[in-house]
Structure 1
Amino acid sequence: MKISFIGAGNVAWHLSQALETANYDIETVYSRNPSNARALTQQLYNAQVHRGLDFLDSNSEIFFLCVSDDAMEEVIRNLSLPSGAILVHTSGSKTLNELQELVDVYLDETIRTGVFYPLQTFTKMFHVNFSEIPICLESSNLDVENLLITLAQSISDVTYAVNSEERKRIHLAAVYACNFTNHLWGIAQDLMKKNDLEFKLLEPLIKETLRKALESEDIFAVQTGPARRNDQKIIQRQIGALKDHTGYKKIYESITEDIIDKNTI
């Protein structure tokens, strides 16, 4: 089976290589920035950079649409695919119906659609083990669904059939579990640097916090710290220490208030 990628960002970078390792043929990669497509093809065995969004002469059967939600409509507006092709997006929040509606509006050919959402944070320079990544699948076409299941099971031990509403809820929870948590670690790193302290001092704390969270049925129950104790002396002292960091102070106050509220219910 031949596969093409539209987009050469973090998801495409890792997913294309995982599929190639599973013996799928990555034919072409398109990116609005050709240098990004070129960089990805250099990681693949025989993939070529595709110039433009006209794929009518492509031999690929499936096209992975790995672009931001905001860019999806513009890309599909200018996209041409061979009749019978399968267009699959990898978004956590874009519904299958939204993808199909864009295809119906902008593409003349008969195109089948699906969703192939790897539930993981991806950065190009960091290796991931795809076998551990949950892959959430959706399609209104049984043949496409079976094909996506085959693709997913060739690279991951964890696959789920998840509808669009469920996937949006998963994505929201993932924002808290990943994006917001990473931002808080970034704040902690910045505060340590500003005080000439090594971030490594916090590593055992971060590891133990993560371990407890993963092993706890009720993560709120293992909460610790001044907000958990409602220790106002420490809380006010720390708020004062953030007087020159308005954004950090707002985050501290908001999360502190939520922790206190959670533990007084």
Structure 2
Amino acid sequence: MQYPSAYSLRVGILGAGRVASQLGPALAAAGHTVVFVWNRTAPAAEALAAQLPGAQALASLSAPLPAADVYLLAVPDAAVAPLLASTTWPAGAVVAHLAGALSLSVFEAQPTVRGGVFYPLQTFSPGRAINWPTVPLCIEAADSVVEERLLTLARSLSQHVRLLNSAQRLQLHVAAVFANNFTNHLLGIADTLLAEANLPPALLAPLVRETVDKALANPPFAVQTGPAVRRDAPALAAHRAALAPHPAWQALYEQLTASIQAQL
């Protein structure tokens, strides 16, 4: 995806982990210039910068930062506030974090910084290519200048850009954890149970696909199936017995069964 030079921005990326390693090349492909990459471990910054034409890997943040239109903080949530405080930012720098659960208020302690949020609603894993035009990008900004720049970046990558406030973004992030992280954990449990019975994971693939397709096409609670909905006592008891070797999973089974039945 290539955009006219009028839309080109200079971007500094602080962090070189899973998100930055996908976002940096995407920004470059969209016509923006990544001017530098910094990471607390220099080899990671060097490896990412090497993929980005003209980008330099910063060895430290002790010197004045190279000029950029936007500085993106692609670091863990807990690292954002310390990084903001320990970095000497150019006056009026537009700085945005990429976190789902971190409020815009984290920038209030740095009055010389113009803060914003550039939150990509997606899961990032090594070796998995991201289809950026389909990724919802959620923007929040302290002022109109920040909003305009972040919207320029977002619209150059995605067809799904939204302005959300911190409370909405937090609720979205919690929902995403249920939809993605918890679902993946449950699939991991299912995979282990199949392995214990010498059964291949592929057996569940059609069921998983139909479950997701159906839940996306309907209100999920309205299309719930299974022994909890039927209040099938013999099946529930058999499942509890089968899970006896895994007490934590047995307790989770009980909690989910109760939650399903509470929605009936």
Once residues 84 and 17 of structure 2 are traced to their aligned partners in structure 1, the CA distance between those partners, rounded to angstroms, is 17
Q: How does 1:96-135 map to 2 (within 5 A)?
A: 96-98=104-106, 100-104=107-111, 110-135=112-137
Match of 1:173 in 2: 175
Q: How does 1:78-97 map to 2 (within 5 A)?
A: 78-97=86-105
Candidates 13, 31, 38, aligned match of 2:21:
13
Shift of the alpha carbon at 1:44? 2.1
Structure 1 runs not aligned, ≥5 long? 105-109
1:62 aligns with 2:70: yes
Kindly provide the amino acid, as one letter, of the partner of residue 110 in structure 2: V
Per the alignment, in what secondary structure is the counterpart of residue 102 of structure 1? coil
Shift of the alpha carbon at 1:182? 0.7
Once residues 127 and 49 of structure 2 are traced to their aligned partners in structure 1, the CA distance between those partners, rounded to angstroms, is 15
Match of 1:231 in 2: 232
Is the 2:65–2:88 contact (alpha carbons within 8 Å) kept by the matching residues of 1?
Answer: no
Per the alignment, in what secondary structure is the counterpart of residue 103 of structure 1? coil
Residue deviations 1:233-264 (CA, integer Å, cap 9, x gap): 1111111111111221111110011111211x
CA RMSD of aligned residues (A): 1.3
Q: How does 1:1-265 map to 2 (within 5 A)?
A: 1-54=9-62, 56-98=64-106, 100-104=107-111, 110-216=112-218, 218-263=219-264
Once residues 20 and 261 of structure 2 are traced to their aligned partners in structure 1, the CA distance between those partners, rounded to angstroms, is 41
Per the alignment, in what secondary structure is the counterpart of residue 138 of structure 2? strand
Shift of the alpha carbon at 1:57? 4.2
Once residues 123 and 63 of structure 2 are traced to their aligned partners in structure 1, the CA distance between those partners, rounded to angstroms, is 29
Shift of the alpha carbon at 1:140? 1.9
Assess, with a 3 A threshold, how the Cα gap between structure 1 residues 57 and 39 changes in structure 2: closer, same or farther: closer
Assess, with a 3 A threshold, how the Cα gap between structure 1 residues 10 and 57 changes in structure 2: closer, same or farther: closer
Assess, with a 3 A threshold, how the Cα gap between structure 1 residues 226 and 49 changes in structure 2: closer, same or farther: same
What is the TM-score of this pair, normalised by structure 1? 0.93
Once residues 240 and 38 of structure 1 are traced to their aligned partners in structure 2, the CA distance between those partners, rounded to angstroms, is 53
**Among the aligned pairs, what percent are the same residue?**
38
Q: Give the number of aligned pairs.
A: 256
Is the 1:29–1:37 contact (alpha carbons within 8 Å) kept by the matching residues of 2?
Answer: yes
Residue deviations 1:102-148 (CA, integer Å, cap 9, x gap): 324xxxxx221111111111113100111011111011210110111
Match of 1:107 in 2: none
Kindly provide the amino acid, as one letter, of the partner of residue 2 in structure 1: R
Shift of the alpha carbon at 1:79? 1.1
Once residues 254 and 231 of structure 2 are traced to their aligned partners in structure 1, the CA distance between those partners, rounded to angstroms, is 12
Is the 1:55–1:79 contact (alpha carbons within 8 Å) kept by the matching residues of 2?
Answer: no
Once residues 41 and 258 of structure 2 are traced to their aligned partners in structure 1, the CA distance between those partners, rounded to angstroms, is 44
Shift of the alpha carbon at 1:39? 2.5
Once residues 258 and 88 of structure 1 are traced to their aligned partners in structure 2, the CA distance between those partners, rounded to angstroms, is 38
Once residues 158 and 17 of structure 1 are traced to their aligned partners in structure 2, the CA distance between those partners, rounded to angstroms, is 19
Assess, with a 3 A threshold, how the Cα gap between structure 1 residues 55 and 15 changes in structure 2: closer, same or farther: farther
Is the 2:70–2:149 contact (alpha carbons within 8 Å) kept by the matching residues of 1?
Answer: no
Per the alignment, in what secondary structure is the counterpart of residue 56 of structure 1? coil
Structure 2 runs not aligned, ≥5 long? 1-8
Once residues 255 and 37 of structure 1 are traced to their aligned partners in structure 2, the CA distance between those partners, rounded to angstroms, is 42
